[in-house]
Chains A and B, each alone.
Chain A
Amino acid sequence: MSYKTCFIILLAGLFSLIIISPAMGQFWDFPPLPPPEQYGNLLINRVSEKHNVKPVTFSHWMHRVKYTCRVCHFELEFNFRVNTTEITEKANRAGKYCGAGGCHDGKVSFGHENKEDCGKCHNGDISYGKERFSRLSRLPKARMGNGVDWARAIERKMINPVNYLTIKLSEGIAFDKELLLQAEWFNIPPAVFPHRDHIRWLDCNNCHPDIFNIKKKGTHFRVTDMIEGRFCGVCHRNVAFPLNDCKRCHPAMRY
């Protein structure tokens, strides 16, 4: 084999690598993924340590089996960004936030009455409750995140999370349009956004207009924007299935 042939083969190989790598998701600097039982767990420490109390561990997978995102992030007014909601013991005891009726009110679930219950939240342990994670083993599998396909789980009625506490949804037909989002790079197939899978969990105003706004219709948002926690990354960075799972959004991607 001549040097020229070898050089051409090497060049072709390098070119292929450049083309294929983004499609394999290896091009992006995604945040490291924790173990499945920790994925979506948060440490809430807005004022806890300032008051000499351990931070609160909040587990999304424990709660989303029972309640949709809408309940907490619309009705109970928890912000998407951690440590920005002004949760206090006083507010909780007054029936707001975690202490809302139907939640940690001391009747449906433990509240603030018994001191021995404090450690169930204020433990500062990101892996708290992992021994109960095996209960999710019956649910449809996913490659990443919690290892659970939550969209299929709710679609197949394997879970039936409560969708409202006080603001019952109307009986009309909800918006379920599917959007095709063209990728900037020629070698990346388009992303498919299904409204239907999202409205099973969220309220329309969770995304519109704060995250996705008509005034910026046609805005190009990139994977880098999402990695920084904007647009889809508000949820899909560390709570909903992770950005690393490219095929979930780009189903035509081959790898």
Chain B
Amino acid sequence: MRSVLTIIFVFSLLFYTLTLGQGWKDEFDDICSRTDIAMSMTVEELRSLIDRCDRLKIIIEGLPDGTQRKIYLKRLQMCRGLFVYVLKLKGEE
């Protein structure tokens, strides 16, 4: 029973690691595809996106490839910067 649980745990960890390899890109695309509708979002939606940006930033910072890491960090910063900008705009309204 213990060995079965161990095997399941190892495979789950392996599966999670493999999917995480490209999962962050899907997350990035999902976040940054919403920049053009940022003005129509609610404050809660914007805050949620900003939180997702912060979590994704940690993952991207752990990437091995220097150029890829630099490019995606910059792009994420641009997306996050826009969401923060719109959030402040809505706050002033």
Expressed in whole angstroms, the Cα–Cα distance for A209 and B37 within the complex equals 15
Assess whether A77 is in contact with B33, with CB atoms less than 8 Å apart: no
Stretch at the interface among A42-50, A170-178, A220-228, A246-254: A170-178
Expressed in whole angstroms, the Cα–Cα distance for A213 and B33 within the complex equals 21
Q: A98: shortest Cβ distance to chain B, in Å? A: 13
A96 at interface by CB-CB < 8 Å: yes
Q: Mark contacts of B30-56 with chain A using CB atoms, 8 A cut-off: 1 yes-contact digit, 0 otherwise.
A: 001111111110000000000000000
Expressed in whole angstroms, the Cα–Cα distance for A82 and B71 within the complex equals 17
For the residues of B in contact with A, the DSSP-based class is helix
Assess whether A96 is in contact with B39, with CB atoms less than 8 Å apart: no
Expressed in whole angstroms, the Cα–Cα distance for A74 and B71 within the complex equals 10
Chain A residues near B75: list those with CB within 8 A. 74-75, 77
Expressed in whole angstroms, the Cα–Cα distance for A77 and B81 within the complex equals 15
* 8 Å CB interface, A197-253 against B: 199, 203-206, 208-210, 213-215, 217
Expressed in whole angstroms, the Cα–Cα distance for A74 and B38 within the complex equals 16
B39, B81, B84: the one contacting A175 at CB < 8 Å is B39
Assess whether A205 is in contact with B92, with CB atoms less than 8 Å apart: no
B79 at interface by CB-CB < 8 Å: yes
Residues of A within 8 A of B (CB): 74-75, 77, 86, 91, 94, 96, 166-170, 172-175, 199, 203-206, 208-210, 213-215, 217
Assess whether A205 is in contact with B67, with CB atoms less than 8 Å apart: no
Total chain B interface residues with beta-carbon distance under 8 A? 27
Instruction: Contacts A74-B75, A77-B75, A94-B67 given; indicate if A203 touches B36 (C-beta within 8 A).
Output: yes
Assess whether B74 is in contact with A174, with CB atoms less than 8 Å apart: no
B12 at interface by CB-CB < 8 Å: no
Kindly list 20 other residue pairs between chains A and B, CB separation below 8 angstroms, not including A213-B85, A214-B88, A214-B89.
Answer: A75-B75, A94-B67, A96-B71, A167-B28, A168-B33, A169-B33, A170-B36, A172-B34, A173-B40, A175-B40, A199-B36, A203-B36, A204-B35, A205-B79, A206-B78, A208-B82, A209-B82, A210-B78, A214-B92, A217-B92
Assess whether B36 is in contact with A77, with CB atoms less than 8 Å apart: no
Q: B86: shortest Cβ distance to chain A, in Å? A: 8
CB-CB nearest 6 A-B residue pairs = A172-B37, A205-B82, A175-B39, A209-B85, A205-B78, A174-B36
